[in-house]
Structure 1
Amino acid sequence: MLLLVVSRRRSFTRHVLERSDIDTVLLRPQTSSVEVPDGRPVFPLRAGISAEAEAERYQRWLSRMGLPRPTFFCNPDESAQSLAHRFASAAGLPHLSPRQVRLSTDKLAMKELFAAAGLPAARFREVASIAEVKEFADRYGWPVIVKPAVSGSAVDTWKVDVDQLGTVDLALRSRPERRWLAEEYVQGVEHQLCALVHEGRVQDAYVAVNPAPVLDALAGAMNADITLAPSEPEPVDGRAVAQRLAGALAFRSGYLHAEFFIGHDGSFVMGEIAARIGGAELPTSHGLSRGFDMLAAVTDVYVGRPPLLEYTRDRSVGHLLLPVRRGVVSGISPLAELTSMPGVLSGVLTVEVGDRLDPPRASNASSGHVHIEGTDSKVVQERMADVLSRFRLEVSEGHH
């Protein structure tokens, strides 16, 4: 019996709900705007109420609904980490401790974690003003990364040069309650690292490469991640890095997701870490790359089972986010046109003609996605470029 937090990870949620060997109760933080699957029992978790009071209300709700008490817990939702795991603790479920939540959600605390794991990270300092950003840049050079200590999907994260400080100044002044950091800009290639952990041991790890760093994707570069084929050389021993992170975090079971850079000089630099399932369709890419059910393996580690890792494929598979921009959609490429292109395995369009779009400045903003295969990551990237050259999204200003 699993208590699962409702999240944007719809593919994962759907997989869990379809499992015949697992009964699922859903937990939905009232701060969440994600829709609940029809006909499923869902407990609404209130913010601003003590976790102990909510746990008591939850037990009464289970009894009233005639539901058995879940013994396992999974929260794929980054924004709900603190609230959800406090509740899980009060309800007697497996959970992350406040220390683990802090180390895996607070970008300043992550630096402590990387140091404890013996892994290098970009130099940084906490900042509260443009003057402090300039001081940091005077020491380490421009450009500088400025970002909130707590945020996701690169929201309010900026790569700035000395003549671009106005935007950051506005952000610092408009949100004085937030903690911010300035970070050294790493010139190199961004990668994703995912790992399945069972009883404290990394069962396997999966490395993906970003054709362009996420911050460049926000400015219009290709927004994608490409899982390396098992036969491709890894830029770093992903399994060993993940085990160091799991050890420093005292992480027992679940999914670890991290980002790292390989500098143009070959250096390895940690970026960020999260103690939850990887974003968007990244886990699906890992499964397609190796020809196994990645979502089943993820679910298994959250219900205390070792994952079944029987790989049947050796290929690279990438997940390409299709561009989106503001306006009313007047035309868009048919999905069938995109999925007929070489290497395209599947795809989803999330907008249609007539939709009014006002996408946020976030790494997950898109008009849909496609999964693309190739013998290695270079082939996949070339095929992604072909899809982008064919993809058409027409928007007009429209009328309110």
Structure 2
Amino acid sequence: MPNPQKRLLVLGASQDQAFMINTAKAMGINTLAVDMNPNAPAFAFADDFAVVSTRDTKALKAFLDDYTQEKPVHGVATMGSDIPHIVAEIAEHLGTWHISHETAKLATNKFAMKEAFKRGGVRIPDYRLVGSAREVHDAFDEYGKLVIKPLSEAGSRGVSLITDTKDIAELFDRAFAYAIDGKVLVESFLEGPQISTESLMVNGHIHTPGYADRNYDVLERFLPQIMENGGVQPSDHQDAFDDVEAMLLKAAKSIGLDHGVMKGDVVLTKDGPALIEVAARLSGGDFCESLVPLGTGVNYVRNVIRMALGEDVVLDELAPTMNRAVSNRYFFAEPGRFHSVEGLEEVTAKDWISKFEIWYKPGDLLPETRSHGQRFGVFVLTADDRETAIAREKWVYDTVKIRIDPV
């Protein structure tokens, strides 16, 4: 059992990190959360907190040098925030376990990652770096339908689907706004169902407790942005799991991840599974927080925390104890002035609704939705089977009415 005197530093204290903080507390571990937002919601759950930017490594180290004179910190982790390089740097400063800096670098640069996958024999889309709209045209001529994306952003920022040439200049400019060294990435669009995965590499062996089918039922509405609308568990593609896990193992070894967590974006093409990209971190949103634990009984965040503390993984905890359907879906609103929402009480009264959140207040000006961070709200529901879950999703959407005043 974990030593109750151990303390975990959690980088970030947004809603994305609340589940990790609460999981650690339930394990008897003290928590220290840092965030640049003085009103970060997860501060309320942490034993200690400090207002420090998770991306300001100099300030973090200075704060920790002072803090650890009286209170030792035994591990560093995060959830949802794509900063494995910062987790590794801060953990090294504290002398605690972390993935290698090279692995963290490969996991946060999508071009370098794909180069590593190519060397490792992982099936991936065709890809190239581009520095101009003309080069995007050339790639479109060669590959056909393209995805253009920055090298290091998460949450779909700057990511677009290119299906013809008429908007290439505009979509290049969107991605280029986040460019590293004057380059962005284009890759061929892979046709097929998509699966989100979450794996734990444990001393060179892979365990994948997290599988969920990704939902793109709003794709046409938001094109050229690629907008995901949550996911559902259990997956409809369990017959492909062995091949998917074999591919994920290759991917982990390609980036040098022998021990740690890896989030994957998988496409089931007609030629077999292919990998879009991975992240060396826990997912945000509701994947490891809701879909997997509510559906299978597995909270693998506990083992990620153990890894951060340098403790042994408890493999028995990765075995499912139940099989329920769980779905998370998002609300998308039109631009304008948020007036009100109807149907809230009726929906939240259902015992199968495990989460319901609206992220804006009446009077807020709603932007055009161009990234996942601009979605209007979220709900998570459970059911005995997928068919019932899908029916309940429709009922929620039919019941909740979002009123927006035009501006």
TM-score (normalised: structure 1): 0.84
Unaligned 5+ segments in structure 1 are none
Aligned to 1:275: 280
Partner of 2:3: none
Percentage of pairs with the same residue: 17
The worse-fitting range, judged by mean Cα deviation, of 211-220 and 109-118 is 211-220
Aligned to 1:25: 32
Gaps of 5+ in 2: 1-6
1:75–1:55 Cα change, 3 Å: same
Read off the aligned partner of 2:359 and give its amino acid letter.
Answer: T
Q: 1:137 aligns with which of 121, 136, 140?
A: 140
Q: What is the aligned partner in structure 2 of residue 42 from structure 1?
A: 50
2:319 and 2:303 mapped to 1: Cα distance?
10
Alpha carbons of 1:34 and 1:134: their partners in 2 closer, same or farther (altered >3 Å)?
farther
Distance 2:169 2:307 in 1: 46
Query: 1:194 maps to which residue?
Result: 198
Aligned residue identity for 2:18: S
| 1:207/1:234 contact within 8 Å kept | no
Say if 2:301 is the partner of 1:315: no
Change (3 A) 1:370 1:57: closer
Paired AA for residue 64 in structure 2: Y
3-state SS of 1:325 partner: coil
* Matches of 2:262 and 2:31, distance apart in 1: 22
Cα RMSD, aligned residues only:
3.2
Residues 256 and 146 of structure 1, relative CA distance in 2, 3 Å threshold: same
Q: Which moved more, 1:36-45 or 1:145-154?
A: 36-45
**Which of residues 170, 174, 182 in structure 1 aligns to 2:173?**
170
Q: What's the CA shift for 1:40?
A: 1.8
Partner of 1:207: 211
Secondary structure of residue in 2 paired with 1:163:
coil
2: distance between equivalents of 1:268 and 1:140?
19
Deviation sequence 1:263-322 (CA, Å, 0-9, x none): 3x3532211100111120111211111124344344334332324235331122121112
What is the CA–CA distance in structure 2 between the aligned matches of 1:288 and 1:136, rounded to whole Å?
Answer: 43
Structure 1 residues 83, 241: CA separation in 2 closer, same or farther (over 3 Å shift)? same
Could you tell me which of 252, 255, 258 is aligned with 2:264? 258
- Which range moves more in the overlay, 189-198 or 76-85? 76-85
Q: Tell me, what secondary structure is at the counterpart of 2:249?
A: helix
Name 1:247's counterpart in structure 2. Answer: 253
Q: Does the CA-based 8 Å contact 2:38-2:51 persist in structure 1?
A: no
Alignment of 1:89-128 (within 5 A): 89-128=92-131
C-alpha distance in structure 2 between counterparts of 1:144 and 1:72, whole Å: 40
Tell me by how many angstroms 1:241 deviates.
3.3
Q: How many residues align?
A: 389
Counterpart CA distance in 2 for 1:107 and 1:74 is: 22
Deviations 1:114-163 (A, max 9, x none): 2244320000110011111111111111x211111111111111112212
Instruction: Give the Cα separation in 1 of the matches to 2:57 and 2:354.
Output: 46
Name the structure 1 match of 2:240.
Answer: 235
The Cα offsets for residues 29-78 of structure 1, whole Å up to 9 and x where unpaired, read as x599955614624373586765xx96465223321xx21x2222213253
Question: For residues 195 and 133 of structure 1, what CA distance do their matches in structure 2 show?
Answer: 33
